[in-house]
Every structure is written in structure tokens, then in C-alpha cells.
Amino acid sequence: MTATTPAIIDIIEPPKPLSRIVYEFARRNPTVIFGSSLLLGMVIIAIFAPLFAPGDPLALAPARRLRPPQEAYWFGTDMFGRDVYTRTIYGARISLIVGISVSALSTIVGLFIGLLSGYVRIIDAIIMRIMDGLMAIPGILLAIAMMALTKASVENVIIAITIPEIPRVVRLVRGVVLQIREQPYIEAAQSIGTRFHRVLLKHILPNVMAPIIVQATYICAAAVLIEAGLSFLGAGTPPNIPSWGNIMAEGRTFFQIAFWIILFPGLFLSVTVLAINLLGDGLRDALDPRLARRM
């Protein structure tokens, strides 16, 4: 007995300090760090927009229309003389609000429906047929249809983008539930009378969390893109709100003479989406190495 004790002590490593853990995680997952830093920067810009751009994004100044980028107007001015820099900074708010709301909403609703579908055989068939149908409609078209029937508002944009994203979450969650249900330990737990909600909390949810977090990140990126696309087409955020899509839509007519109106919001949009995608890729690699190998 005494002889084996030292061996056991050898196996247990001393606890690492938190800074060390964070450092090692960062070293192994540079894309997570890069993506989240970029995203964090964008969030700070959105929250403290008035500090970064003290002007009024809506202030008209016909006298200084279509000025190219210069010291006073970093990103130039648009056809009404509004400062493109100020509008772009404020645009970050809409994009991030829509992106985060859509990913949160679609994840919560999708998680609920997915669990239901994975657990209750009778309604599974019906739910999955509906989901297959929904997935057959290109997301942006479905959102366009919904926007055509409702008043333009940020809330409606969020709902219109959320609905087409739900089936993706449902499929993912249902897949994981079905897979886990087959595991011997779940059967064992159920056969000895473990309550359903205990199985759900202890086994199913922890297994669903990793893929769902990754999926939520990708949905956030998609939502930011779709919002901009909808606004660009005139079916999104009301035109009086400076969203990146709206700014670009307004700049379309003038893009041959005033390229900056489209360029800067476009770059901000691309960088934001890139940041979220990088974060998603990194999280996927970090949370689920098996998935990382497949994707």
C-alpha cells in the first residue's frame, strides 16, 4: 500500500494558476484570441459610439455634400452631407444588436424544439418535416417575405432573421439528443428510474452545449450579414436608422463618384463578420476536437 502511494501523487499535477491556463489556451487557439479581440473592439465601438464619434449621425449639412475622406471627415460625407464616419460607428450598434439577438433567440427556441423533437417520437416526424420545409426556403427570401408584411423596425428584422435560422439549431440539437439517447449509460440511467429532467440536465444539455455555442457564433455572423443584406435591399432596418446596410444602400447611386460611402461601412461589416467567424472556428476547434477534424 505504501509503495503505491507515491505513484498516485505523481499523476496529480499541481493546480495551474489561472494566468497560465489562459496563456496556454491562447497559445493553442490563436484564432479565438484574434477573433474575440476584433469582436471586442467592435463591441466597445458600438457601446461607446458617442465617444468615438461625437457628432450626430443624422445631422444633415447640404453644404458639404459628397466630400471625399479628409481630416475633418475621416470617411468622407454622403449626399446629404452626413458624416460617414459617425454613421458607420453608430452602425456597429445595429449590426451587433441584431447579430446577438438573433443568435440568442434562435438558439433558445431551437434548443427547446430540438429537445422536444429528439425526445418525443410522435411529434418528431411532424417537426422535422416542418423544419425541412423551412430550410428549403432561402433564409434571406423568407426574411424578405416577412419584412414585406410587417412594418420596418429593428424588432421585426430580428424576428424575420431568427425564424429561418431556427431549423439549423433544431437539427443540430435533435441530432445530438438522438445520438446520446442511444448511449448505454443513458439507457442504464433510465432503467434504474432516473427522472427525465435529471437525464436532460446531467447528460443531454452538457453534450449539446459545445456544438450549440459554436453554432450560435455562426448564426450571429450570418445574422449580421443578412441584416446588412436586407437593409441594402430596402427590406430591413428602417432607413432613418444608420445601419451599415442602409448606409451602403444610400451610397449605391453615387458609388462611381463617392466610393467611400460604400467602402467604409462595407469594411466594418466584413471585419465584424470575419471576427465572429474566426471566433466560431476557434471555439469549434477548442470545444470539440472531433468536430474540428471533420469540418
Partner 1 sequence: MYAYLIRRILATIPVMAVVAVFVFSLLFLSPGDPAAIIAGDLATADDIARIRERLGLNEPFLVQFGKWTFNLMQGDLGVSIFSNLPVSKLMLQRLEPTLMLTTTTLIIAICAAVPMGVIAAWKAGTIIDRGVMLFAVLGFSFPSFVLGYLLIYGFAIKLEVLPVQGYTSISKGFGPFLNNIILPSMTLGMVQAALIARMTRTSVLEVLAEDYIRTAHSKGLATSKVLIGHALKNAAVPIVTIIGISFALLIGGAIITESVFAIPGLGRLTVDAILRRDYPIIQGVILVFSGAYVLVNLAVDIIYTFLDPRIRY
Please report, for residues 60, 95, 160, 166, 171, the alpha-carbon distance to residue 139 in angstroms, rounded to integers and kept in the order given: 35, 17, 9, 10, 16
**Structure-block grid coordinates of residue 164:** 429561418
Closest distance of CB 220 from partner 1, Å = 12
| Residue number, 53 or 228, with CB nearest to partner 1 | 228
Report if residue 200 touches partner 1, rule: CB under 8 A. Answer: no
Could you say which of 97, 186, 200, 274 contacts partner 1 (CB under 8 A)? 274
| Residue number, 122 or 149, with CB nearest to partner 1 | 149
| Residue number, 105 or 225, with CB nearest to partner 1 | 225
Residue 115's nearest CA partner among 190, 213, 207, 219 is 207
Contact 168, 139 (CB under 8 A): no
Report if residue 270 touches partner 1, rule: CB under 8 A. Answer: yes
Site string for partner 1, 106-145 (x = CB under 8 A): -----------------------xx-xxxxxxxxxxx-xx
| Residue number, 51 or 267, with CB nearest to partner 1 | 267
195-199 long-range contacts (CB < 8 A, ≥24 apart) are 196/119
Report if residue 100 touches partner 1, rule: CB under 8 A. Answer: no
Report if residue 223 touches partner 1, rule: CB under 8 A. Answer: no
- Residue in the block written with cell 497560465: 20
At 3 the three-state DSSP class reads coil
Closest distance of CB 73 from partner 1, Å = 20
Could you say which of 32, 147, 199, 208 contacts partner 1 (CB under 8 A)? 147
| DSSP letter assigned to residue 83 | B
Closest distance of CB 116 from partner 1, Å = 18
Contact 161, 190 (CB under 8 A): no
At 193 the three-state DSSP class reads coil
Angle between helix 84-119 and 154-181 (nearest 10): 30
At 31 the three-state DSSP class reads helix
Report if residue 286 touches partner 1, rule: CB under 8 A. Answer: no
Q: How many residues bind partner 1 (CB under 8 A)?
A: 48
In sequence order, the β-bridge partners of residue 98 are none
Binding residues for partner 1 (CB under 8 A): 129-130, 132-142, 144-151, 221, 225, 228-229, 232-235, 248, 252, 255-256, 259, 262-263, 266-267, 269-270, 273-274, 277-278, 281, 293-295
